[in-house]
Amino acid sequence: MAFRAVMSRRGTNRSSDIGARWMSTWWGNVEPAAKDPILGVTEAFLADPSPSKVNVGVGAYRDDNGKPVVLECVREAERRIAGHSNMEYLPMGGSVKMVEETLKLAYGENSEFIKDKRIAAVQSLSGTGACRLFADFQKRFRPDSQIYIPVPTWANHHNIWRDAQVPQRTFHYYLPETRGLDFASLMDDIKNAPNGSFFLLHACAHNPTGVDPTEEQWREMSYQFKAKGHFAFFDMAYQGFASGDPERDAKSIRIFLEDGHLIGIAQSYAKNMGLYGQRVGCLSVLCEDEKQAVAVKSQLQQLARPMYSNPPLHGALIVSTILGDPELKNLWLKEVKVMADRIIGMRTALRENLEKLGSPLSWEHITNQIGMFCYSGLTPEQVDRLTSEFHIYLTRNGRISMAGITTGNVGYLANAINEVSKSA
């Protein structure tokens, strides 16, 4: 105690006496970090006392009562797991069973690549973790490469490749005038990129725009990728969630596989199995042969070990329990379709409501776009009005999470959008 009294009498901060240095903080220069733009929206929403507030910010599914959903197949899987499993470490590459089932979803139930063991795959911390592991892997083994990222994209994609210290370039994607795909510029960017460039592609249900290439456009992209020797890395966060049919949602990937590309894929069960907080996903890299796949997998593990040693068990158990049981798997497929259909239904409802209100603007894009999000085309100023006047919360890029819309609030939302946009 006397020691402390002596020290405090000497005075605190900015003492040049090294011995007393420990009395002042090391972190005086630490600036407050900017709030995450997406997660910050939910924080603001929660703080709002208004009874009519609507959260169409974060992309987490809600039912028609605006409540989060735990799928029945997940509840059943948890009942089977509880009390029956030990909690030993998974291998560094995660649950083998879960990875096997996950690869089938992306590459096809009877994929020859799986049979020939040509896929290097590890369980990852959801989609974020898969992208980060790949970015670190890319940095380590193709240190001169860079990543082409679509404009716009999920904001965290930029953070991930930046923290992995991989230089970024962008390619054209969204055309504001049409609220659709800027295909011509996209193809130009593919052609103009140096041979052998790395591209980040959203496999389906592009986040944040909801704008996907058509099948024919994917085929053209694949062809051009061939000509240029580009590497395609697919972020597939919404398989099953976009159209309601997982096979259909994987079409872009299957096209590239058919055309012989050796791709990489980040898969996530956050949305399509509602396992958000469990952090379950998978990173895979298609290789030339089994030997190469073994080598690549071992190197991915070398990156995972100093990050978290091995991935979490619980979510993986849920996934492998469901996908490994035909009945549960069927239940899951039904439940995914229900979620996708509700969202498609809300798209139709929002568009119809806006048209009924006599909005002079075109709202076709709401039903043309697909997946969790709609790029409304609203400006940041209009978004601010939605929030301040109507207590509607969304990100300032005008991205609306369709999952936050219900039959109960779609009218209110349409009215508010109409109000802020009719002078546009």
The residue among 129 and 244 lying less far from other proteins, judged by its C-beta, is: 129
Cα–Cα distance measured from residue 419 to residue 324, given in angstroms and rounded to the nearest whole number: 50
**Which of these ranges, 135-143, 199-207, 246-254, 396-404, lies near other proteins under the rule CB under 8 A?**
135-143
Binding mask 249-288 for other proteins (x = CB under 8 A): ---------xxxxx-------x---xxxxxx-----x-xx
Cα dihedral 90→295→222→169 (10° resolution) = 80
Site for other proteins in 154-183 (CB under 8 A): 156, 159-160, 162-163
Cα–Cα distance measured from residue 267 to residue 275, given in angstroms and rounded to the nearest whole number: 13
Peptide bond into 176 cis (omega under 30): no
**Which of these ranges, 166-174, 226-234, 394-402, 413-421, lies near other proteins under the rule CB under 8 A?**
226-234
**Residue 24 CB, nearest distance to other proteins (Å)?**
7
Write the DSSP symbol of residue 233: E
Q: Give yes or no for residue 298 binding other proteins (CB under 8 A).
A: yes
Cα–Cα distance measured from residue 6 to residue 38, given in angstroms and rounded to the nearest whole number: 48
Q: Say if residues 297 and 93 touch (Cβ distance below 8 Å).
A: yes
Peptide bond into 150 cis (omega under 30): no
Catalytic option among 136, 189, 212, 235: 235
Q: Give yes or no for residue 299 binding other proteins (CB under 8 A).
A: yes
| CA angle at 238 for the pair 321 and 153, rounded to the nearest 5° | 140
In the structure, how many helices (H) and strands (E) does the chain have? 17, 13
Q: Give yes or no for residue 341 binding other proteins (CB under 8 A).
A: no
Residue 271 falls in the annotated catalytic set: yes
**Which of these ranges, 81-89, 347-355, 382-390, 413-421, lies near other proteins under the rule CB under 8 A?**
81-89
**Using CB under 8 A, which of 107, 113, 173, 375 touches other proteins?**
113
Interface with other proteins (CB under 8 A), residue total: 108
Q: Give yes or no for residue 364 binding other proteins (CB under 8 A).
A: no
Q: Say if residues 293 and 282 touch (Cβ distance below 8 Å).
A: no
Q: Give yes or no for residue 129 binding other proteins (CB under 8 A).
A: yes
Question: Reduced to 3 states, what is the DSSP secondary structure of residue 234?
Answer: strand
- Name residue 122's beta-bridge partners: 283
The residue among 263 and 349 lying less far from other proteins, judged by its C-beta, is: 263
Residue 27 falls in the annotated catalytic set: no
Number of other residues whose CB lies within 10 A of the CB of residue 331: 18
The residue among 143 and 326 lying less far from other proteins, judged by its C-beta, is: 143
The residue among 21 and 356 lying less far from other proteins, judged by its C-beta, is: 21
Consecutive H or E run containing 206: none
Residue 182 falls in the annotated catalytic set: no
**Which of these ranges, 48-56, 138-146, 236-244, 246-254, lies near other proteins under the rule CB under 8 A?**
138-146
Catalytic option among 154, 161, 332, 363: 154
- 373: closest CA among 405, 408, 341, 349? 405
Q: Give yes or no for residue 289 binding other proteins (CB under 8 A).
A: yes
| CA angle at 30 for the pair 166 and 169, rounded to the nearest 5° | 20
Q: Give yes or no for residue 52 binding other proteins (CB under 8 A).
A: no
Q: Give yes or no for residue 28 binding other proteins (CB under 8 A).
A: yes
Q: Give yes or no for residue 195 binding other proteins (CB under 8 A).
A: yes
Cα–Cα distance measured from residue 214 to residue 288, given in angstroms and rounded to the nearest whole number: 28
Q: Give yes or no for residue 356 binding other proteins (CB under 8 A).
A: no
User: Which residue numbers are catalytic?
Assistant: 154, 235, 271
